[in-house]
C-alpha cells in the first residue's frame, strides 16, 4: 500500500519550472554583462544565484513534484525521474523545517550537490500537514538521540515519535480524518 503526496501542478509549473527557466535567462544575461564589464559585482552575484537555482531544479532534482510513501521506503519524483530510499538503508535523514512557510529541507544519506537534498514545499502538496509531520517524525525516528529529537520528547512527552503511515492509522484517527 502506498500514499502519494502531489504538488499542485499549476503552482509547480509557476514556482519551480518557470522560475528556473527565467533563471537560465538571468544567468546568460549576467554573463554577458560581466563580459561587457558592466556592474561586474552585481551581475556576478545574480549569475551565481541563478546558477544555483537552475542547478537545484534541473541537475540535482531538489524540488520534487511528488513524494511517495511506501511500506519499505520513501520516493521523490521530479520531472518523471524517481529516486527511492529504502527505510532500512537510510542512515542520515536530516530535516530543517521552516514552519512559517511550510517548507522542509531534507538531507538524506550521503547528500551532495548532485543527490540527496530536497526542498519539500509541504503547503503545496495534498495532505500537507500530514506530510510535514511525517517527515519530521521520520527524522526523530532515524536520529532518536539528537538534540532536536530530545527537545521534541521534552515538550511532548506523551506523543509517539514513530512515523505512522497513513494507511496504518488507528480506527479512531481514521474516523477523524474522514
pLDDT in tens, 59-115: 999 999 999 999 899 999 999 999 999 998 988 998 888 888 889 999 999 888 899
Domain-embedded: residue 72: yes
Start-to-end Cα distance in the chain: 18
Domain-embedded: residue 168: no
156-172 residue pLDDT tens: 555 555 555 554 544 45
- Does 13 score more than 70 pLDDT? yes
Domain-embedded: residue 169: no
Domain count for the chain: 1
Q: What is the pLDDT at residue 167?
A: 47
CA distance 148 to 151: 5
Domain-embedded: residue 84: yes
Give the domain range for residue 12: 2-161
41-62 residue pLDDT tens: 999 999 999 999 999 999 999 9
pTM of the model: 0.78
Domain-embedded: residue 172: no
CA distance 50 to 73: 33
Amino acid at each position: 500500500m502506498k500514499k502519494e503526496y502531489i504538488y499542485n501542478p499549476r503552482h509547480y509549473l509557476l514556482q519551480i519550472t518557470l522560475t528556473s527557466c527565467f533563471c537560465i535567462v538571468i544567468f546568460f544575461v549576467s554573463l554577458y554583462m560581466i563580459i561587457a564589464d558592466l556592474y561586474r559585482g552585481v551581475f556576478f552575484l545574480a549569475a551565481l544565484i541563478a546558477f544555483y537555482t537552475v542547478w537545484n531544479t534541473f541537475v540535482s532534482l531538489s524540488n520534487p513534484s511528488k513524494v511517495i510513501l511506501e511500506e519499505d521506503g520513501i520516493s521523490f519524483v521530479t520531472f518523471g525521474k524517481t529516486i527511492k530510499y529504502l527505510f532500512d538503508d537510510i542512515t542520515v535523514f536530516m530535516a530543517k523545517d521552516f514552519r512559517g512557510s511550510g517548507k522542509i529541507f531534507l538531507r538524506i544519506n550521503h547528500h551532495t550537490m548532485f543527490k540527496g537534498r530536497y526542498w519539500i514545499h509541504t503547503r503545496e502538496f495534498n495532505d500537507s500537514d500530514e506530510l510535514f509531520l511525517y517527515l519530521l517524525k521520520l527524522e526523530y525516528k532515524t536520529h532518536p538521540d539528537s538534540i532536536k529529537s530530545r527537545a521534541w520528547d521534552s515538550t511532548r512527552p506523551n506523543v509517539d515519535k514513530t512515523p505512522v503511515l497513513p494507511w496504518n492509522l488507528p480506527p479512531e484517527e481514521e474516523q477523524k480524518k474522514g
